[in-house]
Amino acid sequence: MTEQIVRANGVDLCVETFGRPEDPAVLLIMGATGSMILWEDDFCRALAAAGRFVIRYDHRDTGRSTSYPPGEPGYTFTDLVEDPLGVLDALGIARAHVVGLSMGGGIAQALAVFHPDRLITLTLVATSPAGPNDPDLPPMAPALLEHFAAGGTPLPDWSDRDSVVDHLVAANRPFLGPRPVDEDAAKALAGKVFDRSPNVASSHNHLLVGGGEPWRERLGEVRVPTLVAHGDSDPLFPLGHGEALVAEIPGAELLVLPDTGHELPRGVWELLLTRLVEHTERGPVTAQG
């Protein structure tokens, strides 16, 4: 594990790597408001142990990357798409296997459409070709709609660690599937999120960001091998969103994650890692370029 600050796309981004640089590079892109540590250490270590050079990074406004005042994102979605390219450039990597979760999956789709030369393969986890409100895709689960209609999870005192930790754990619950939750582990991870960030409230800037070219109508142009992994109990993007991606991306394959919501629980790591290792065996032997 090596954590470093790199200058990419005009900002400072915190990057951490696992494994040997000479192995094929796998770039992990987290979802909205999420720092890189939500790609948990053990998941990254297991992927590295399978012969992959694993790269994760903090989005702007998360972790140790450049932060902006809450409510004032100084960037667009296009910048969030360009940032991972800057990470690869800083590491001297020409092409990578790209894995994106939720908003990170949107970023990964945009990369595959607008920067296809930088990808070896594409893996999309718990994401959508258009978002939760598209009329031709399944709507959010009723319980989640009711949660948002009631105002969502109350905001904490952002300066108080215990308040923020409790808030992060509570805010995640409506998105989970039926698997039991290790509350102690969830609180420990939320505590690390707080400790690594100058202002966790700034991560909500992701929800305010606009801009960027639409890509759904161009998914048919994607030519890199694509794996779509989707929970069968995802309340934000029901399984039909993953099925739409498979239908619209040529040759894409679907991996259904059982008893899984809008999340990546430990109980499906082995299943996903096995398929991900097989999927990323395609392409160049090394990722340095």
Q: Which residues are catalytic?
A: 102, 234, 262
Q: Going by DSSP bridges, is the β-strand pair 253-257/11-18 parallel, antiparallel, or unpaired?
A: unpaired
β-bridge partners, 98: 27, 122
Say how far apart CA 75 and CA 205 lie, in whole Å: 9
Q: What angle do CA 227, 101, 259 make, to 5 degrees?
A: 80
Beta bridge partners, 51, equal none
Structure tokens at 218: 């161009």
Instruction: Quote the DSSP letter at residue 121.
Output: E
Do 131 and 149 form a contact (C-beta atoms < 8 A)? no
31-56: b or e for each residue (b if 16 or more CB lie within 10 Å)? bbbbbbbbbeeebbebbbebebbbbb
**DSSP alpha helices (H): ranges in the chain?**
41-49, 77-90, 103-114, 142-149, 161-172, 183-196, 239-248, 269-279
Q: Is 9 left (phi over 0), alpha (psi -120 to 50) or beta?
A: left
Burial 132-149 (b: 16+ CB within 10 A, else e): beeeebbebbeebeebee
CA 144/CA 59 separation, integer angstroms: 26
